[in-house]
Structure 1
Amino acid sequence: MIDTDLLYTQDYQVRAYEIDAQQRMTVPALSRLMQEAALQNVIQIGMSYWDLEAHHISWVLTRQQLQVQRLPMLNEPIRINTYPAGFLRAFALRDFWVETQDGEPLAHSASTWLLMDTRTRRMASPPDFVLAFNKRMPPRDQCLPRITGQVAKLEKADYQANYTVHWHDLDFNQHLNNTLYIQWMMDPVPSAVLAERQLAFLDIEYRAESKLADELQAEVQEMETDTYCHRILRPADGKVLANAYTRWQ
């Protein structure tokens, strides 16, 4: 594992409410644990929401790619490692590695984050005290490849589901928790795929926030066998809030 003083490592055990009917951890549950590890990491290094609150800025996830070798099973102990992986213009990069406690790789993920001005809800330029962390970032050859290219776009929905954003769906930025985008995007995938396949790759792009009481629609298009495009939109104004591409095995 990477050698950096910014590394955060936490052990977990897969719990009953985090599994599917096959007793394996769901991808949304895995995503939530990665988000928890990221939160604890920024608290540890003094870059959390509460540290930045006085500056009227907050971190917002904009893009994530997840590759899964194997989803852990009920009661299986796992370890999540995460660390800041540098800056790309106004964006911050973060990597995740998920493994068994014996070191077997389970999944890894590269992610891109921006600073949002909490007053205007627009992108903010990182201040100098944030950019100063660049001196402590690990070498590029020790990090995951940076995310490039565009997410494949859905053209015509084959499956869909409707949702309303409720209070318990919100995070502390007062918008729809980003792990629910993943869950709601995957819900309309045919049940045979969810039951008989495992997600191998997810590429998700977060384009806009959703707020309390929003009516949303999740759409899925089957591109090829075991390959899907996804999006979440707000029918009231036609705005696409997120796009995603998944591959199953």
Structure 2
Amino acid sequence: MIAAIAASSFFPAPSSSSSSAASLKDSKTISDGPESLSVRGIVAKPASSSGAMQVKAKAQAVPKINGTKTGLKSETLKHEEDFPYFAPRTFYNQLPDWSMLLAAITTIFLAAEKQWTLIDWKPRRPDMLADAFGLGKIVQDGLTFRQNFSIRSYEIGADRTASIETLLNHLQETALNHVRVAGLMDDGFGATPEMSKRNLIWVVAKMHVFVEQYPSWGDVVQVDTWVGSSGKNGMRRDWHVIDCRTGGTVVRATSVWVLMNKNTRKLAKMPDEVRAEIGPYFIERTAVVDEDSRKLPKLDDDTAHHVQKGLTPRWGDLDVNQHVNNVKYIGWILESAPTSILESHELAGLTLEYRRECGRDSVLQSLTTVSAECSDGTQDKGMECVHLLRLESGDEIVRGRTKWRPKHARSFGSSTGPLITGSA
């Protein structure tokens, strides 16, 4: 179609006017004498002022044939009425329609460019590796789930890097999407059809996280996750997060999940029907993080160095299972961490043991003690803290241990200087 338009622009098709003009060639002349004037001779003159004057002059001159005057004027007018005037074909009026020609050429080039883009497409920037729809996919042996995330501006903290809550939210998101893509999602957070029939939900019991580096704004990370068995009634889920640009490890994490009855809020055994659903997706693989087997001590008002009271969950802190999301606990734990540590060190690892859930009307206290601090006053050594999140009544919510490493000044673009850090 495009080629036909372009061709018609260069070579216009014959029109009815051309056929009519051609028929004039067969018209009869007024006389066969040397002074006779044909109608074709009049019509073929260009439509100019000089031509018009010439036709008028010839029309007024009355020729004689055998001494008798002929009525040329009346015959000429008669032929002009029978054959309407048409402009002659010249070089100028045979030029193509440039607007149509330009449109045809533009369409051809756009179509060619689109085809070339489809053939030659390949990711050239790290940010092009991000999952366009955020759904992820099953990879490798069919049991590992992979999803990419781009670090947004609202996900970075005071250090201009992604916060620990952001990274843990990525882990939780991939866990839920893994269940959904595998076709096991029914309702709730990761509940399978057999779990929904029995009012069972997953709750995390223990989590170990090691952060090797923190991504910055605009970085793209790739999260791989898989599941395995943990004892008789538990499930272990592991994550491995890498930087898509460098290929370096960002986070390694492992966790243990158990079943809880949604109505009674008590832990439950894993039914055989549920095991039959999730068992085919288990992988026999060593955890990506070595578990810290050390027992977490219990803190109280006498042993804690720092205490933050009056912490209350907001409505937005609740998940669809009507309890506080486990990622929210991280922020409450760090509320009682010394500001000097937050300024001079970054969180390198954490171990969490969840004791009970937290509801909407709970009032909590965050306790922290520094168990291993720099003895020489420098920032060249790591630090370790022990944490406890409890209700005001004294019931424990989470016990935790965090490891910290010194952080160095960073540059953020060319318009700002290095980030100034405080002292421990």
TM over 0.5: yes
Q: Using structure 2 for the length normalisation, give the TM-score.
A: 0.55
Match of 1:49 in 2: 191
Contact between 2:304 and 2:369, CA under 8 Å: does it hold in 1?
A: yes
Q: Deviations over 1:79-138 (max 9, x none)?
A: 111111223221110001111114210111010000111121111111223323334422
Aligned AA (2:266):
R
Which consecutive unaligned segments of at least 5 residues does structure 2 have? 1-138, 374-382, 406-424
Residue 3 (structure 1) shift:
3.9
What is the identity, as a one-letter code, of the residue corresponding to 2:160?
Q
TM-score normalised per structure 1:
0.92
In 1, the alpha carbon distance for the partners of 2:268 and 2:274 equals: 12
Tell me the secondary structure at the aligned position of residue 181 of structure 2.
Answer: helix
Q: What residue is the counterpart of 2:214 in the other structure?
A: 71
Following TM superposition, by how much is the alpha carbon of 1:243 offset from its aligned partner in structure 2, in angstroms?
A: 0.2
Name the counterpart of 1:92. Answer: 235
The structure 2 residue matched to 1:101, chosen from 223, 228, 244, is: 244
- Give ranges in structure 1 of 5+ residues lacking alignment: none
Match status 1:234 vs 2:402: no
Q: Which residue of 2 aligns with 1:211?
A: 359
Is 2:161 aligned against 1:161? no
- Give the deviation of 1:192 after TM superposition: 2.4
Tell me: CA distance 1:154–1:17, structure 2 relative to 1, closer, same or farther (3 Å): farther
Cα distance between partner residues in 2 of 1:129 and 1:159: 47
CA contact (8 A) 1:164 1:216 kept: yes
Q: Is the 8 A contact 1:214 1:234 kept in 2?
A: yes
Distance 2:319 2:254 in 1: 21
Higher strand share: 1
For residue 197 of structure 1, report the CA deviation from its aligned partner.
Answer: 1.3
Q: Which residue of 1 aligns with 2:127?
A: none
Of structures 1 and 2, the one scoring higher in RCO (CA 8 A, sep 6+) is: 1
The equivalences for 1:180-219 within 5 A come to 180-219=328-367
**Taking structure 1 as reference, are residues 145 and 188 closer, same or farther at Cα in structure 2, changes over 3 Å only?**
closer
Larger radius of gyration: 2
Q: Cα distance 1:37–1:199, how it changes in 2: closer, same or farther (>3 A)?
A: same
The CA distance in 2 between the partners of 1:220 and 1:148, in whole Å, is: 19
Match of 1:243 in 2: 399
Q: Assess, with a 3 A threshold, how the Cα gap between structure 1 residues 115 and 104 changes in structure 2: closer, same or farther.
A: same
CA RMSD of superposed structures (Å) = 1.8
Q: What residue is the counterpart of 1:24 in the other structure?
A: 161
CA distance, structure 2, for counterparts of residue 110 and residue 221 of structure 1? 25
Distance in 2, matches of 1:176 and 1:144, equals: 27
Distance in 2 separating the partners of 1:154 and 1:104: 36
- The answer to whether 1:139 aligns with 2:284 is yes
- Map of 2:322 onto structure 1: 174
In structure 2, the CA distance between the partners of 1:23 and 1:188, relative to structure 1 (3 Å rule), is: same
How far off its partner does 1:78 sit?
Answer: 0.7
The answer to whether the Cα contact below 8 Å between 1:87 and 1:134 also exists between their aligned partners in 2 is no
Instruction: Please tell me whether the aligned partners of residues 87 and 93 of structure 1 are also in contact (alpha carbons under 8 angstroms).
Output: yes
Matched-pair contact (CA < 8 Å) for 2:209–2:289: no
Aligned length: 246
Say if 1:166 and 1:136 are closer, same or farther in 2 by CA, change over 3 A. Answer: closer
Q: Could you say what secondary structure the match of 1:5 adopts? A: coil
Q: Deviations over 1:161-182 (max 9, x none)?
A: 2311221111111111111111
Q: 2:265 aligns with which of 113, 121, 129?
A: 121
Are 1:64 and 1:205, in contact at CA under 8 Å, matched by a contact in 2?
yes
